[in-house]
Amino acid sequence: MKRFGWLGVAGVMAITWGCSSSDTKKPTAATDGGTTNAPAPTTTATTPPPDPQPGWRAAVGAGGVIVQTFDERAWETRSAAPHDLYGVACVGNALGWAVGPGGAIAHTTDGGRTWRAQQSGTRETLRAVRFGTTSLGAAAGDAGALTVTHDGGETWRVASTASTTTLRGLAVAESIGLVLAVGDGGVVLRSTDRGDTFAEARVSGASDLRAVATDHAGRLALAVDASGHVYRSVDAGQTFSEETTARAPLHAVSLHHAGLTALAVGERGVVLSRDARGSWTELPSGTTATLRAALVPHDGGPLDYVAGDDGTLLFRARDGAAPFAPISTGTRAALYALEDL
């Protein structure tokens, strides 16, 4: 079980995140865009559950929906709150953060059994959260909101930047102190001192940047934009060059921790796969839904995931030739983010 209850800045947001084994759903083929009957309401555990193990995956989205699995076989869907969940980040089996409207950030230290609010220092909607380690993390969102922590969120400091553009994506590579935030108008905010200072630049030719990802070492970075461009950086985000263009706008990118493979997804069901040589191939997704999230698992799991509108959640074996297969989620809510432990 994962469960949290939290209040955002000035108490503007309250969320309960939970799951139990009483209403798990097996990954079966969906016939209506990935939907089944409405999920059962959240139940209350009477005994503390064990910490999640590798194999935990979660998608979060509109209206506070959470779709999650602990073993990549049985899935649970919850209507957690009447608030959108825009981002979630986890480190290890016990630590997690979630962000949403009103500058709200919540943190768990016990695998989700209890959660408490952390003061982000902003009231702007936060649309992305990323952690490189248990201590270094960042959250970003509307009106240039960018806040950084060096102590796991015990304290958050609003970064001093001149940007007022909406920031939509984050990447953190602790090994070199790199924090990247990307957003509308091709803006890139880059720090090489663990978020203490940021320099602003723009990717030439880019429209609104929707997402960014780095490998563990921070050497390779990928960013995607609303015009379907994929940009590559091989100098820790200092400069970007166009690597390929999709046939539709892109919304998300996920990169293997060693840079061996990547996924980029977007509108009209577009899924692009990148190999270790930097070659991109479009994969048949079997859907025309807008895809808003991608996951190449950090724990080395063999299955990749993509998610998006109408509760769409798809998976495939990374090393096989099998196409993406749908998972019945029991919701038609848009899924905005994917994460694993």
Q: What is the pLDDT of residue 8?
A: 37
Cβ within 8 Å of residue 290, ≥6 positions away: 251, 266, 267, 268, 269, 308, 309, 334
Average pLDDT (118-142) is 96
Which string of b and e fits 251-279 if b means at least 16 CB within 10 Å? bbbbbbeebebbbbbbbebbbbbbeeeee
Give the tens place of pLDDT for each residue, 35-84. 333 233 232 232 333 444 557 788 889 987 888 888 899 998 976 556 78
For residue 324, give the nearest of 279, 278, 270, 277 by alpha carbon: 270
Give the tens place of pLDDT for each residue, 92-107. 777 888 899 999 887 8
Q: What is the pTM of this model?
A: 0.84
List the Cα angle 187/192/194 in 5-degree steps. 105
How many whole angstroms from its chain centre is CA 234? 22
Q: What is the radius of gyration, based on Cα positions, of the chain?
A: 18
pLDDT of residue 3 exceeding 60, the answer is no
Q: What is the pLDDT of residue 110?
A: 66
Most confident option among 103-107, 115-119, 231-235? 231-235
Structure tokens given for 46: 């009477």
For residue 4, give the nearest of 54, 58, 55, 40 by alpha carbon: 58
Q: Give φ, ψ of 267 to 5 degrees.
A: -75, 160
Give the tens place of pLDDT for each residue, 280-338. 999 999 999 999 999 999 878 899 999 999 999 999 999 877 899 999 999 999 999 99
Q: What is the pLDDT of residue 14?
A: 36
Cα separation of 188 and 201, whole Å? Answer: 5
Cα separation of 13 and 325, whole Å? Answer: 35
> Mean pLDDT, the chain, as a whole number?
84
Q: What is the pLDDT of residue 23?
A: 32
Q: Give φ, ψ of 102 to 5 degrees.
A: 70, 20
pLDDT of residue 115 exceeding 80, the answer is no
Q: What is the pLDDT of residue 177?
A: 96
Give the tens place of pLDDT for each residue, 247-282. 999 999 999 999 999 999 999 999 999 999 999 999
Host domain of residue 283: 4-340
Asked whether the beta carbons of 178 and 137 are under 8 A apart, the reply is no
Asked whether the beta carbons of 69 and 54 are under 8 A apart, the reply is no
Asked whether the beta carbons of 141 and 163 are under 8 A apart, the reply is no
Cβ within 8 Å of residue 126, ≥6 positions away: 86, 87, 99, 100, 101, 103, 104, 105, 120, 139, 140, 141, 142, 145, 147
Cα separation of 8 and 64, whole Å? Answer: 14
Q: What is the pLDDT of residue 81?
A: 55
Cα separation of 59 and 305, whole Å? Answer: 10
For residue 298, give the nearest of 213, 240, 237 by alpha carbon: 213
Percent of the chain with pLDDT over 70: 81
CATH number for 116: 2.130.10.10
pLDDT of residue 1 exceeding 60, the answer is no
Residue type, 110: D
How many whole angstroms from its chain centre is CA 175? 21
Is the pLDDT higher at 33 or at 121? 121
Q: Is 185 left (phi over 0), alpha (psi -120 to 50) or beta?
A: left
Structure tokens given for 218: 């921070």
Total number of domains in the chain:
1
